[in-house]
A and B are shown apart, each in its own frame.
Chain A
Amino acid sequence: QVQLVESGGGLVKPGGSLRLSCAASGFTFSDFYMSWIRQAPGKGLEWISYISSTSSIIYYADSVKGRFTISRDNARNSVFLQMNSLRAEDTAVYYCTRRVLRFLVQDFDYWGPGSLVTVSS
């Protein structure tokens, strides 16, 4: 079955960096777009970024543009989120999601359990 497992979260100081990883299994990873979505404590969901199957298409939310970088390694069935210049407002659970994108269909059908990132001095 489809599984997504995030890792790399933790406590980091403001201005610091962190790299999240997401290991995927149970499907042909190289056929799918992937995405990161976050949720601040007690708050709603916020889409962060997505990457196409070949890494040729990448988009970011304005809130992270220029600070976060999404990438993937299809040989390792993994997607990554490099987070630089972290701010307190980046504190959130970060979810790795599979993005389905085809004619007349858009969806985030599978989600990982999430990885908590805390930005605090």
Chain B
Amino acid sequence: QTVVTQEPSLTVSPGGTVTLTCASSTGAVTSDYYPNWFQQKPGQAPRSLIYSTNNKHSWTPARFSGSLLGGKAALTLSGVQPEDEAEYYCLLSYSGTQLVFGGGTKLTVL
């Protein structure tokens, strides 16, 4: 069974920079896995922030960026705002037939 691993929790100060990562049990994450990143706040549906590694939606704040880093997918927040406190999920696509979410990273802005 394929497992996608994220940091369970991270803490960052307002205005700081933080990087969340997403690893695959099958090996290095590449663009072929079309990494997606979603943000979920309590009581809300998730919303897509980054798709296909590093593409942003019109609603994605400029401080969010996606990349590949050391064999993992990565989501970097630069200049963190209090409203960025949320759960973040990555999603990897395995040949398009199986899609696996990571367990989520709870980001605390403190």
Contacts and interface: CB of A to CB of B under 8 A. Distances in A.
A25 B23 CA distance: 35
A9 interface: no
Given A61-B98, A100-B51, A107 B36 contact: yes
Q: Interface SS of chain B: helix, strand, loop or mixed?
A: strand
Given A106-B52, A108-B36, A45 B46 contact: yes
B46 A95 contact: yes
Interface stretch (A10-18, A67-75, A80-88, A111-119): A111-119
A109 B46 CA distance: 10
A108 B39 CA distance: 12
A112 B45 contact: yes
Interface residues of A, number: 22
A10 B89 CA distance: 26
Given A62-B1, A106-B52, A109-B48, 13 more contacts: A44-B89, A44-B101, A45-B38, A47-B98, A47-B100, A95-B45, A104-B52, A105-B34, A106-B36, A106-B51, A107-B36, A107-B51, A108-B48
